[in-house]
Amino acid sequence: MKKIRLSAKAIIICDGKLLTMHHLNEDGDYYILPGGGQRNGENLISTLKRECMEEAGVTILVEDVMHIREYIADNHEFTGQKPGFHQVEIMFRCQLLDSSKIGQGEEMDERQIGVSWLPVDELDQHNLYPAVLRNVLKDNNIQTIYLGAVN
């Protein structure tokens, strides 16, 4: 039986733009929120602060939970990459405290090629994952906390 992985993600919006991790694979560019998996003994706030420093080189203030989503790989187009993978992502509203080293993450993800600021009103023009955020953030839909098992 596989375990469910917990992940903390940062929603950082400054001047109408969303901070994202820019990735590249054989299908092209895509963007994800900064953040990652929780380690044993680490609380979600510490996870998110660590991951944002590792991936993006930023120090953040973690605020309220904005959204929760489940990623069940077997239900999506990426099932072949991680069959049986199940992750619960808790997305927090965050503020930048120090961005002087932005883009200089110490432990970038394998496919990460940098960081990008995407205009919130143009998110539907980019391969942002989870895709549901393209409309949720654009419409400023903060009423919906649990987004479901969506891609």
Tell me what pLDDT residue 1 has: 63
CA 122 distance to own-chain centroid: 17
Instruction: Output the six-digit token pair for 128.
Output: 């942002």
Indicate the fold that domain 5-149 takes in CATH: Nucleoside Triphosphate Pyrophosphohydrolase (3.90.79)
List the domain boundaries for the chain: 5-149
Greater confidence, 49 or 78?
49
Q: pTM surpassing 0.85?
A: yes
The stretch 61-90 carries a mean pLDDT of 84
Tell me what pLDDT residue 10 has: 98
Most confident of 30-34, 108-112, 128-132, 147-151: 30-34
**Inter-residue contact 130 to 72 (CB < 8 Å):** no
The answer, yes or no, to whether residue 79 has pLDDT greater than 60, is no
Q: How far apart are CA 95 and CA 151, in angstroms?
A: 25
